[in-house]
Structures are given as structure tokens and as C-alpha cells.
Structure 1
Amino acid sequence: MPLPFKVQMISIPWFGGKNLNLDTTMRKILKRHLIIAGSLLSIFAGCSKGDHNFVISTPSPYISNLDLRKLYKGSDVTLTTEITRSATVVAGQVTSDHSGKNLPDGLLFIQNSRMVSATIDSLRGMAINIGAAAANYVPGDSVHIKLEGGVLKRVNGILQITGIPAANVQRVATGIKVIMTPVSTLTMLAKPENFEGLFGVVYNANFEPNIGVERIEGVKTLNEGSGDMQMNINSTALFKTELLPYSANVRGIVIPSATTGIPQIWPRIKADFMATSIVVDPTIPLGPNPAIITGYFADPESTDANHEYIQLMATQDLDFRQKPFSLITTNNAGASTPTGFPVNGWATGGLRTYKFNITKGTVAKGTFFYVGGYKLIGGLNSTDISQANWVVSKLYNDFDGDDGIGEKTANLLANSGNPAGIAIFATKTVDLNTVPSDVVFYAGTGGSVYDPVTRVGYAICDNDYYKRYNGTTFQPFYRQGNNTGKVAANPEASQFTYLGGVYDVATKTWPVKRLQKTIAVPKTAALAVIQEMAGATKITN
């Protein structure tokens, strides 16, 4: 476009020795600046035209139990829109069932969650005190509850919202599937606030009952493999006269004790308490291989600490109260101490061997059971598999091994390349010469595992890989004589190693030898992935 003023044409010497036409250059520069200025004016005009829409938003009227619980700091909180950031309603699924008369009167228990991230659990429970109307709601109801004016407080140890009239509760749906959270002593006592008010289940809860006499009424101590916790059955419960079994699956609401604050699981109705124990005749002797090793998870993603486990199978009905067992692992990595040959065999301890005593629970013939750390299938943030039969769940990275055998370790099952092994014993008393019920070794062939001079090492048993006698020659240790086999190579990351094979209970032999197979264990895998795959270990007769 024409410029609004006249530019005099001047020729001047340029650095390169040529003349520069100033008129042409100035026109180009001015054009460029005018274009930029016009663009900026358009941007500013657009911003001023629409900036009043930018700040308009509507706060959500809903608040989650997670956020409600954060409001309580130890003293009563009156719920106002200022406190709740304009939220006036909590929505959730009902978990309480007052028909069994074992829950605190007047409390409607609900649970809900909100999106935090894919790896953070936000499911939380809450008790709402609405008086007698609480009995009108059943598990699976979906409700909206107006909160304004209610008071968040602890009453008899229970965090609850009081001052809510029954009219503030609206049932918006029925028949919703209720989320049930697996509960273990390890996880619940570590973060009791996360579990309070939730509908949970304790699998394989082991009791110490007076069989045929003791009833379930009262506060009963149970152990699900990771530690002791409590179950509460009130004197008002309609099912209080049920007899206490050796073990059961227990569902219910997690409620803290009014006197101690210790979280307890409160079954709601009779069907929440399901006996699972089998009756084992104590006069039946144990065979030479009452339990066999069927697989292991040795290299979880992210961290091995407290996330490794061993899978086993019973070849006859077992009751570990009657006849305690133990399981020991060995790690012979170069840095494991004490160095040198294991002078006490499986009982060497230190960072060479780690012991779990198995003193609770029952296992039916031909079924799997587990020993290890957290009850998670594939390591940190993976599927909870508490429903499997965990006879021991122990944080081996936090606690020493049982009976002084083993220091706490981040690597229960080695993947160093040197020999690593697992042995299950039909006794808690283990020394250099104790014969295992079953034993396997995997990984490499080096390391100081057997000394032919002093004849110390890791005891083996007769199975598909090892023999205590080679003809008439006695060879009771691994890597002695022809006991040099191994069931598998180094573990693979995020792979469950299963051994397969067929064990004949009648002949106490392996007609089909175990061979290493692996299966990927993604974070979302179900228990069936490590129990129902083709080629899993089986028993006959």
C-alpha cells in the first residue's frame, strides 16, 4: 500500500561495497511493522471481547467421602458451603444392612470414590447418622444426601455425620453392585483411615476356637496370614449363636472399637460369615511329600521388596495348627552374607536363607496355597489376590525371618545368576540335615552351595530332580553327586514361573517331571492367570 509520507531516495555505500537503495529497504521494514501492529490489535480486540466468559464456572454440588474425611482434624466440623467449597451433597452406594442387627443403630454406611489417578485408591466409607430410617436402606441402594448443617464428628470411635434428617436422603437407584475391598492386617493397620467405614472381606480368617463349644459372639481375634485383627459380633446379632470354626471368609463393615480405636470387621448378616475350614484327621500321618512347590514370582516390576511369593500345593489335607510347617528360601548372590559354604544348610540365615513358619490355616488336597509378601499378583499397584489361600503373608523387607533364620531382605527370591532355591518342610525345626517335603533350585550353577570336604550344603529330598541315594551312595545335599539339576533359569521380569508336572500321591513319584514355563503377569491380571493356565501342576490318586 502507499506510504503516508514521502521517503527521499538515498544511495549509500554498504559494507559489501554495493550501494543500498534506502527507499526500497524502508518500505519493506515499515510494511513488516504495520502487519505486526495490526495482528496485535486483532488479538487485543479478541481478548477484550471474550474475557468476561473466561471466569464463569459452576462448582460441583457433590463431595466425595475422601474429601469429607480430610475435613476432620480431631474436632467437630459443621458442614457449610464455605467449608465444603460449595458442595452440598454426598452421593454413594449403601453398604449397611441392619436386618442382622449387628451394626450400630441409626448409622447409614455409604462408600464412594473420585478420580485421583490410575494408581491412587480413593474409595472411602462414611457413616451418616439418620436415626431409625437407616434400617430402610439395603446394600446396593444408591443415595444422594444433603449435607448442609450436618456435623462431622467422632461418636463412640466412629467418624460420622450427625444432624442429618431422614428427609435429606434420596434413593436414586437400587440393585447397584457393591464394591467389596479385600482386607488384610498388613494393609488395614498401615492405613486404618483408608479402611474405616468400607465394606470389606477377610479371606481365610483363621481363629483359635474351642471347637463345638465356642460361639462367634463377642470380639474374636483372627489371623489371615499377615497378622492378628479383630471381628465384632454384638449380643444383639441374630446370628451370634453360630459356632466359631477354624477358618472363615468374613465380610462386613470396618468399624473402629469404641474403647481401643482398633479397626474391627463387623459382619452385617449371617451370610457374611462363611466357614471355610476343612476337618483334618490328626491321626493320618504325613507322607514324604505332603506339600510340593508349583511356582514362584521372583522379579516383580518396580521393586522386589515385599512383592515376591511362592505357590505350593498340598498332596494331602493339611492343618498347620496340628502339624506346623516352614518354608525357607536361599539367595546365594555374591554379596549375600555370610559368605562361603552354608555351614548350617537351610538354617544358615543372614542374607543367605530366610524362614517363614506356617502355623495357621488348612489346605485341601490338590489345592494351591501361598507364602510371600503382599497379596498382590504382579507387584506394586497390581491386582489384590487375597482370595487365594495365603498361609503366610509377611513383609520380609521389614522383618527378620522366623526363629532367627534370615535378616530382612529386599530380594527373597534371587535373580543374580548364582543358584537360588526354595524348600518346604513338614516341621518348624530345621537344621543342616533336616529333609524337606520338597525342594527346587533355579538360576545358575556357581556359588558356594556345597562343600565336599566338610560336607555341608542345602539338604534335598527325593523328588523329580534330586535323589538322596545314587545307588548305595548317600548324597543328601544339592550339587553333591548327581544332584545338580535345576528347574529353571534366571527369573524373567513380570513373569510368573510355573513348574507343571504331575505328582502321583499313591506312589510318591513324579510320572511327569516339572519343567519351567512362564506366563506374563500384567498389573490387572486375575488370580486365574497363575492357577488355571495350561500345564499347571496336577496330582493324581
Structure 2
Amino acid sequence: MKNLKKYIVALAALATIWSSCKRDDKINIIEGTPSPYIANLDLRRIYRGSDVTLTKEATREAIYLRGQVISDHSAGNLPQGLLFVQNAKNLGGSVDSLRGIAINIGAAAANYIPGDSIHVNIEGGVLKRVNGILQITGLTAAKIEKKASGVNLRVVQVSTSNLKSNPERFESCLALIYNCNFEPNIGIETVEGVKIFNEGSGDMQMNVSSNANFKNEFLPYSAIIKGLIIPSSSGVQQIYPRFKADFTPTSLTVDPNIPLGPNPVIITGFFADPTSTDANFEYIQLMATQDLDFRQKNFSLITTNNAGASTPTGFPVNGWVTGDLRTYKFNITRGTVAKGTFFYVGGNKVINGNGSTDISNANWVVSKQYANLDGDDGIGTKTSNLLANTGNAGGIAVFATTNVNLNTIPSDVVFYAGGGSLFGDGVGYAICDNDRYKRYNGAVFQPFYGQGTNTTSNKVGANPGVNSFSCLGGVYDATAKKWVGSLRVDKPVLTPKTLADIEGRADVTKVIN
């Protein structure tokens, strides 16, 4: 009887809830109360290539947009009359719904500053593209109510690769771009105009207006740029620094007359098997043993994958430049790196595969979609597995030149995992003198891995584990120009989540003296 009473009470409650909701028989759903607010994510979806008048019908009863102002017109470098606002929609999970929008309110746009929280009555406005920029037109400042000021703003990190793959995601948002490498006429060329820069994964554009009060600043070799992502009239997304402080030069001045030591760059770690797919998510961590400017002195990095399916099979006739699926080359021709600091070469700028933490704030000198593009100088066919994790030997070599052949001596080299067709018939992968390999055993010349005492037992570790960054450690004496102390060895960092996990450990590689 008690159970029967419980069921009756439950059914009665359910009937009450059901009857309180209005049912739309045409689409067989239960309607709730529509929100009077619309997020930029949904607002941008309304636009399908032609002008949209923002009526309640078009916006599903929403008449307000609320968000934070990110524009600042005080320095004269943003499109006049446009107020830029960004907001996010709570979608739960890890979905990033932050989006921006421009609102054309004329000269009144200059009355708002970054961090102002506002509500905008958008009813009657028109959503359209003007000079390439998606914006709401037909509104006045009377439609805007300021609710607060000094709100902390979210800033999205942008690279060429993610901007190209999803330009709509970043348009009219406040963005930050690291490792912006220019090709300026130093001391003469200024920031004014549209300037091309490369941040490791491709070319992007910075726009500084002739009205900007910082237009006469000299253009450096490299910088960190914060600003708004705004499309040109042709649709090319550009970053607009809002004021002088948004543009931070980071160039390192390197005396080109200082000669390179025997090991100007050393290998400090690598990620061979990140979560999700390996394609475009593997990378190599390196360190400079002296200040370097890669424009002055070009370098290259080459990986080798000796899995059974990697072609050409047999001994590597051309060593590190064998190409196809055996070796893959990255040329390093931009960027600077200070002595004793880390830098990176590889795919996407995330720490552990798709969906993991963005680490574009690290010093990436090359970020290349190697699964979609062949290696530099024709060395290497596009591959989804840059660093071997099949059990056969994988290797990494960095060279103080882009002109590499069978006998070119690397700046540094490491191998891991097992064997394979590595050395024979007088050909193989060239090594250098470092903590693990020697080009001479007494008077006996042994310049290749697998030759003489350079056996596969001198690898830095076994086949790397899944989701495990290989931290190599070791100490390099820059004055003595040699490794000191213990040999480098793979010390796995399981599932790293932040840059500090792979750069801030006590046992990372160090350069002394």
C-alpha cells in the first residue's frame, strides 16, 4: 500500500509539471520561456551571407546582447565608429563559445573602454558585413546601457593554423599572438601599414593605421602582439594592436660575428605519442647553448622513423636526407633564442594532442602541419607519424645549416627505441660528439649511429609510452663545450597539462657557465 501511494503521488506531480508546459504539436517539443539575451555565438549563426534585420522572430525573442567591451579607440588604430564586444555562452564541458561582434554606433564607440560591461538593445538593428567586418548597424548609443567597468577580459591565443581553420571563431575577439617574426628594414621601417609576420605555422598580417599614434615605432624582428582580429575588405583576418602597449618587441640582438660552438643547439625532450592522433601533434623540445638568431644562421631539424613500413627500406643511402617516410626535415630560418632557454619545433602548439592546453606562449620557431605538407627542401613525405613509436628506432638530429648531406655533422642527435636498417654498406645516420655518441673510438672513425661503439644500446630510452613526454635532462657546460655528469635518459612526464610540467621540472636539461 505504501508503494502504491508513492506511485500515485509521483504521477500527480508529473501531471502537474506537464500541464504547466505549453506543447507545440507541430514539432512535438515542450516550449520554455525564451531568454531576452542572445550570445554572439548564436548571433553570428543568424548571418548566412545576406543582411538580417534583428527582429524577435529572427532572434527567437531575444532583444539584448550583453558582454564586455574589448575595443579602445584612444590610440586611433581601430576602424572608426565600431564598438567591439565579446561574450561566451555556457554550453558546459570544454566547449569554447567565446565570440566577438562589432556594433556600429558612430563616434560614441570611443566613449567605451576595455572592461566595460554593457547591455545592448539590438532590436531593429541590421546584421551585415561592411568592408569585410560582420557588424550590427542601425543602432545608437541610446541603445546601450553600461552595467560595470574594470571587468577582466578573456584573451584567446591565436596561430596561423587555427585562424585559417576557423576564422569565424576568432573574428572580433581579443587575441594574443606569440613569436611574431617580421622581416624588417631594421632602424628604418616602422609598424605603420599592413605588415606580414610568421609565428611558426605560417604567415599572418598586422594592421597599423596611418591614424595610430604609435605608427612611427620601428618594426622589430620579433614581437608579441595583442589586439583585435578584424578581417580586411578582402576577408583576410588581420590583428590590430589597440595601442602601443599591445605591441611588445621581443627581438634578441645577437652579434653575427660570434662563431657557433660545436653544439649550439641541444635536444632536451620530445613527444612521440600524444593523446588522440599523432598527426600534427608531435613536437621536439630544444635548448640553445649560446644566443642565436636563426635569420643570421639558418638551422634545420630532421627526424627519422625506421618502422618496417617506412620507405625507402634498407640502409639510409643518404642518411638524414633520405626522405620519403624515413626522414622529415624542418628548416629553422626565423626567430631568436637566448642561451639556456627552451624552444620548439613540431606540429600544433598544444601540450598533449587534440584538445589539450595551448602552449603557443612557448618559443616555437617552427610549427608545421607535417601530416598535410611535405618536409622542407623535399626531404620527407607528409606523414601522420613524425616520431616512431612502433618499436624500431626513432631519431632526431639538429644541424647548424639547412644544407645537409650524408656526412654533415649534427649540432646534436639522439635515438630511442630499438633497431632497424640503420647502418650498413658505408651509409647511415651521422652522429656528433655528445654525451652518448663519439665520432672516433681512439683512431677508429665511426661517424654513424650503429657503427663501432655507437651501438643501439646508447639510445636515450625505450619506445616512448602513450601520452608521455620524454624529458631527457642532462647538463651541458657552455664554456667547456661538452656534456658533464650523467647521460641524458628518457624520464617520462605522463600526461603533461601545462608548459611548467615540461619546462619547470628540477631534472630538465640545463646549460651552465
Given that 1:521 and 1:529 are in contact with CA atoms closer than 8 Å, whether structure 2 keeps it comes out as no
Distance change >3 Å, CA 39–CA 166, structure 1 → 2: closer
Using the TM superposition, give the Cα deviation of residue 279 of structure 1 relative to its aligned residue in structure 2, in angstroms. Answer: 0.8
Q: Distance in 2 between matches of 1:45 and 1:234?
A: 68
2:499 alignment partner in structure 1:
527
Give the match's secondary structure for 2:74. Answer: helix
Give the match's secondary structure for 1:99. Answer: coil
2:71 alignment partner in structure 1:
96
My pick for the range that moved more, 134-143 or 394-403, is: 134-143
* Partner AA of 1:339 in structure 2: T
1:416 alignment partner in structure 2:
390
Q: Distance in 1 between matches of 2:406 and 2:494?
A: 36
2:261 alignment partner in structure 1:
287
Structure 1 residues 118-129: aligned runs within 5 Å: 118-129=93-104
* Partner AA of 1:413 in structure 2: L
1:391 alignment partner in structure 2:
365
2:109 alignment partner in structure 1:
134
Q: Distance in 2 between matches of 1:509 and 1:48?
A: 80
Q: Distance in 2 between matches of 1:40 and 1:141?
A: 53
Structure 1 residues 507-526: aligned runs within 5 Å: 507-512=480-485, 513-522=487-496, 525-526=497-498
Larger CA Rg, structure 1 vs 2: 1
Using the TM superposition, give the Cα deviation of residue 515 of structure 1 relative to its aligned residue in structure 2, in angstroms. Answer: 2.0
Distance change >3 Å, CA 474–CA 90, structure 1 → 2: same
Give the match's secondary structure for 1:293. Answer: strand
* Partner AA of 1:266 in structure 2: Y
Structure 1: runs of 5 or more not aligned:
1-34
2:238 alignment partner in structure 1:
264
1:61 alignment partner in structure 2:
36
Alignment deviations for residues 218-264 of structure 1 (CA, whole Å, 9 cap, x no partner)? 00000000111100000000000000000000111001112x21110
1:473 lines up with 2:439 in the alignment: no
1:143 lines up with 2:118 in the alignment: yes
Using the TM superposition, give the Cα deviation of residue 50 of structure 1 relative to its aligned residue in structure 2, in angstroms. Answer: 5.4
1:461 alignment partner in structure 2:
432
1:27 alignment partner in structure 2:
none
Give the match's secondary structure for 1:82. Answer: helix
2:179 alignment partner in structure 1:
204
Q: When the two structures are superposed, what TM-score results if normalisation uses the length of structure 1?
A: 0.90
Structure 1 residues 303-322: aligned runs within 5 Å: 303-322=277-296
Count of residues in Structure 1 that have an aligned counterpart in Structure 2: 501
1:366 alignment partner in structure 2:
340
Alignment deviations for residues 45-94 of structure 1 (CA, whole Å, 9 cap, x no partner)? 76666543133732111111111111111111000111100111111111
* Partner AA of 1:408 in structure 2: K
Structure 1 residues 347-366: aligned runs within 5 Å: 347-366=321-340
Q: Distance in 1 between matches of 2:192 and 2:10?
A: 75
Q: Distance in 2 between matches of 1:380 and 1:302?
A: 6
Q: Distance in 1 between matches of 2:362 and 2:492?
A: 20
Distance change >3 Å, CA 149–CA 450, structure 1 → 2: same
Q: CA RMSD in A?
A: 1.8
Q: Distance in 2 between matches of 1:431 and 1:207?
A: 30
Distance change >3 Å, CA 50–CA 403, structure 1 → 2: closer
Structure 2 counterpart of 1:298, from 272, 275, 297? 272
1:337 alignment partner in structure 2:
311
Using the TM superposition, give the Cα deviation of residue 42 of structure 1 relative to its aligned residue in structure 2, in angstroms. Answer: 8.5
Q: Distance in 2 between matches of 1:114 and 1:44?
A: 35
Runs of 4+ in 1 over 2 A off after TM superposition: 38-52, 54-57, 115-121
Give the match's secondary structure for 1:385. Answer: coil
Structure 1 residues 201-240: aligned runs within 5 Å: 201-240=176-215
1:504 alignment partner in structure 2:
477
Q: When the two structures are superposed, what TM-score results if normalisation uses the length of structure 2?
A: 0.95
Given that 1:378 and 1:494 are in contact with CA atoms closer than 8 Å, whether structure 2 keeps it comes out as yes
Structure 1 counterpart of 2:421, from 441, 448, 464? 448
1:488 alignment partner in structure 2:
461
Distance change >3 Å, CA 53–CA 477, structure 1 → 2: same
